[in-house]
Amino acid sequence: MKTSRIFLLATALLVSGMAQADIVIRDAYVRAMPPGQSNTGAFMLIENQGDEDRALVSADSDAANVVELHTHRNVDGVMQMRQIPQIDLPAGATTELQPGGLHIMLIDVPERLMVDDEIRLTLVFDDGSEQTISAPVKSVMGGMMKHGEMKGHGEMKMHGHAKDMPATD
């Protein structure tokens, strides 16, 4: 187990080293899963340092059977998640994937993700390049929203910046 983890990390470093350096991923994390939950989200900052607009077109992970790109939108006052074909990464800008907004959805996760686990995520961009990153699992206050529904707007604002959140554990 330990050996394979080191191998994965080495692979991740190698892959990201070869990938286009224009896309820089920071502060990636995955939301720890409460008991009985089989879905969770991955969040991060994606900076496009290049001159061309890029897009994240798909993602994959060993930790989940299905990985989708999602956003939230307000439908008649109710925040709903839905799948989107891509996440735009405008040139020169940092795009934030955060709870209540854009996120990478990990669906059908066979092994419950606990705080301090490390999850490997592969991100595929519209120019065909890929980056594989290792994201720690963190506790995110406010609980996991159910698919297709979410608490009110005020609550979402309060939880807007995941990195400022206190751990609940």
Q: Which window, 4-12, 47-55, 103-111, 128-136, contacts Cu ion (CB under 5 A)? A: 103-111
Nearer to Cu ion, 25 or 105 (CB): 105
Look up residue 65 and give its DSSP letter: S
Q: Minimum distance from CB of 122 to Cu ion (Å)?
A: 18
Q: 104, 105, 109, 121: which one contacts Cu ion (CB under 5 A)?
A: 105
Residue 68 · residue 151 · CB < 8 Å: no
CA angle (160, 133, 31) in 5-degree steps = 35
Using CB under 5 A as the criterion, what x/- string covers residues 107-146 for binding Cu ion?
----------------------------------------
Q: Minimum distance from CB of 36 to Cu ion (Å)?
A: 17
Instruction: Please tell me the distance from the alpha carbon of residue 129 to that of residue 69, in angstroms, as a whole number.
Output: 17
Nearer to Cu ion, 12 or 46 (CB): 46
Using CB under 5 A as the criterion, what x/- string covers residues 30-69 for binding Cu ion?
----------------------------------------
Q: Using CB under 5 A, which residues numbered 71 to 100 contact Cu ion?
A: 81
Q: 70, 113, 125, 138: which one contacts Cu ion (CB under 5 A)?
A: 70
Nearer to Cu ion, 43 or 125 (CB): 43
Q: Minimum distance from CB of 97 to Cu ion (Å)?
A: 11
- Say how far residue 51 (Cα) sits from the centre of its chain: 24
What is the three-state SS of 69-110?
EEEEEEECCEEEEEECCCEEECCCCEEEECCCCCEEEEECCC
Q: Minimum distance from CB of 103 to Cu ion (Å)?
A: 6
Q: Minimum distance from CB of 50 to Cu ion (Å)?
A: 27
Residue 107 · residue 61 · CB < 8 Å: no
User: For residue 105, with 0-12 CB atoms within 10 Å meaning exposed, 13-18 middle and 19 or more buried, which class applies?
Assistant: buried
Instruction: Please tell me the distance from the alpha carbon of residue 61 to that of residue 123, in angstroms, as a whole number.
Output: 9
The residues that touch Cu ion, with contacts defined as CB under 5 A, are: 70, 81, 105
